[in-house]
Amino acid sequence: MKHLYQSTAALLLLLPISMISSAAEPQTPAQPAKEMGAHQGMGMGMMGGMSEEQKTEHMRSMQEHMLTMHDLSNQILAEKDPAKKEALKKQQLDLMMSHHAQMMGHRQQMMQEHKK
């Protein structure tokens, strides 16, 4: 038990020192979204060619997917019957796999358009 207290005390003493040293390191500013290329992720660079209506439609689609996923998560957590819980998990997993396949298809399409 004495060893545990000594280890904890050492950790608590070193924590502020490590925090100070990380705070002293120079921070590089984040790259603005408009300078990022489409190859750097699903940021606003990927949506740059969209009209405002298309962006809104895309965001609403993402919102609907998120709400469905959260709803299924809440149902899974609330379900007491193990069989029903597994069925809900499978439903959520199927939705996740479908969404992933859709995103990969979109990515493949974007990569082909980029090569042209």
pLDDT in the model for residue 3? 64
pLDDT in the model for residue 87? 96
Within the chain, which residues score under 50 in pLDDT?
33-42
- 3-state secondary structure at position 31: coil
Tell me the per-residue pLDDT of 84-112, one tens digit each, with 9 for 90 and over.
999 999 999 999 999 999 999 989 988 88
Please check whether residue 52 is in contact with residue 44, taking contact to mean a CB–CB distance below 8 angstroms.
no
C-alpha span between 18 and 54 (Å, rounded): 47
Give the residue extent of every domain in the chain: 85-116
Q: How many CB atoms lie within 10 A of CB 27?
A: 7
pTM, rounded to two decimals = 0.54
